[in-house]
């Protein structure tokens, strides 16, 4: 029998609604569960599909698409022989292999950022520290246009803003992730797009901070030195307990995805320190409105 979480209703559940990456993670978790129930090692499973234990690990973490032959061979190895159940599983695999909503913008996106969009859509919680700019999920259209116009022509910038607006819809979905953002006070003072654009952006942040799934904190200048000085980062956590957290570090021409335990623990500690140093959500909302009024 296929374990209970992978059933036909999953296709229309909020897991599927979160996009193909979320569904890949769920399916990968089921493959891991079936392998472990059979007492089969990753190495043995990798040999069975003419691959390696690394390939099995990536499949089980949902970090790569599924090849039909590989999944069918794994189901056979794991003892799933009932035609109806195999068909059900393969139906979900086909859905998980479909392009994400961002595929139509792939000409604008480097591959490393497409990976992030998939993980962001699949996340249960998003925790971020930003020392330079308003986080993309919280940017107004005018602020986003000012940011992307720094490196793109007008036509590309318009589509990139559209992409950012589409990306923000994840916060409105059923079962939307929780977003906890800590912003350095410098973000509130840097007039990206001009004073009026920043004023409206800060008021938008204050309004968004009233939502139940969003927490905003401002790290004030008077807090002094802090553990994340000179950097910005995002931590993603997933509903599936067997899937490790991911720390995302964006650079000018690439990005790093960290999931090793020592790295995750370091960034978790740093985030906890930032939360303690930052103003409370209530005081932060007040600071946002005060900063807007001063522009």
Domain boundaries, the chain: 8-96, 106-294
Q: In Å, what is the CA distance from 166 to each residue of 19, 28, 275?
A: 13, 27, 29
Strand partners, 180: 127, 215
Average pLDDT over residues 158-165: 93
Nearest C-alpha neighbor of 216 from the set 130, 285, 146: 285
pLDDT (0 to 100) of residue 10: 45
pLDDT category at 274 given cuts 50, 70, 90 is very high
- CATH for the stretch 106-294: 3.30.870
Residues near 212 by Cβ (< 8 Å), separated by ≥ 6? none
Q: For residues 159 and 237, what is the distance between their CA atoms, to the nearest angstrom?
A: 29
Looking at every residue in the chain, the average pLDDT score rounds to 90
In this predicted structure, the answer to whether residue 45 has a pLDDT above a threshold of 50 is: yes
Taking the CA atoms of residue 197, residue 200, residue 204 and residue 205 in that order, the dihedral angle to the nearest 10 degrees is 70
Mean pLDDT of 82-106: 88
User: Is the pLDDT higher at 157 or at 205?
Assistant: 205
14: Cα separation from own chain's centroid: 16
The reported pTM is: 0.82
Q: Terminal CA-to-CA distance of the chain, rounded, Å? A: 63
**Quick check: 8 pLDDT over 50?**
no
pLDDT in tens, 181-235: 999 999 999 999 999 999 999 999 999 999 999 999 999 999 999 989 888 999 9
User: What is the rounded distance in angstroms from the CA atom of residue 17 to the CA atom of residue 116?
Assistant: 17
Reduce the DSSP state of residue 247 to 3 states and report it: strand
Question: What's the CA gap between 20 and 179, in Å, rounded?
Answer: 21
Nearest in space to 205 (alpha carbons), one of 214, 213, 196: 214
Q: What is the predicted pLDDT for the residue at 9?
A: 46
* pLDDT mean over 32-58: 94
Q: What is the pLDDT of residues 54-67, one digit of tens each?
A: 999 989 988 888 99
* Pairing between β-strand 178-184 and β-strand 214-219 as defined by DSSP bridges: parallel
Which phi and psi (to 5°) does residue 5 adopt?
-60, -25
CB 51 within 8 A of CB 74: no
- Proportion of the chain above pLDDT 90, given as a percent: 65
Q: Average pLDDT for residues 251-257, to the nearest whole number?
A: 89
Run of H or E residues at 130:
strand 125-130
Superfamily of domain 8-96: lambda repressor-like DNA-binding domains (1.10.260.40)
Per-residue pLDDT band for 47 (boundaries 50, 70, 90) equals: very high
Q: Which helix (H) or strand (E) holds 240?
A: none
Confidence of residue 127 (pLDDT cuts 50, 70, 90): very high
Q: How far is C-alpha 293 from the chain's CA centre?
A: 33
């Amino acid at each position: 029998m296929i374990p209970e979480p992978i059933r036909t209703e999953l296709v229309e559940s909020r897991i599927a609604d979160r996009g193909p990456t979320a569904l890949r993670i769920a399916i990968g978790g089921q493959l891991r569960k079936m392998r472990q129930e059979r007492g089969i090692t990753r190495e043995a499973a990798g040999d069975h599909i003419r691959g390696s234990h690394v390939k099995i690990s990536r499949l089980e973490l949902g970090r790569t698409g599924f090849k039909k032959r590989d999944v069918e061979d794994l189901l056979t190895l794991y003892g799933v022989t009932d035609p109806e159940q195999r068909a059900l599983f393969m139906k979900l695999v086909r859905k998980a292999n479909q392009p994400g909503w961002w595929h139509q913008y792939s000409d604008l996106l480097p591959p490393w950022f497409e990976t992030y969009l998939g993980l962001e859509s699949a996340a249960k919680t998003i925790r971020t520290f930003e020392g330079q700019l308003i986080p993309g999920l919280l940017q107004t259209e005018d602020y986003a246009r000012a940011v992307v116009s720094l490196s793109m022509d007008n036509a590309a910038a318009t589509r990139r803003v559209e992409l950012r607006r589409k990306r923000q819809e994840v916060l409105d979905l059923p079962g939307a992730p929780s977003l906890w953002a800590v912003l350095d006070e410098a973000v509130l003072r840097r007039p990206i797009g001009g004073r009026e654009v920043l004023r409206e952006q800060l008021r938008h942040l204050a309004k968004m901070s009233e939502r139940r799934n969003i927490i905003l904190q401002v790290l004030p200048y008077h807090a002094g030195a802090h553990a994340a000085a000179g950097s910005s980062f995002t931590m993603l956590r997933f509903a599936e307990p067997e899937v490790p957290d991911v720390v995302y570090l964006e650079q000018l021409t690439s990005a790093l995805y960290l999931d090793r335990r020592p790295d995750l623990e370091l960034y978790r500690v740093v985030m906890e320190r930032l939360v303690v140093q930052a103003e409370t959500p209530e005081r932060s909302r007040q600071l946002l409105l005060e900063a807007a009024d001063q522009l």
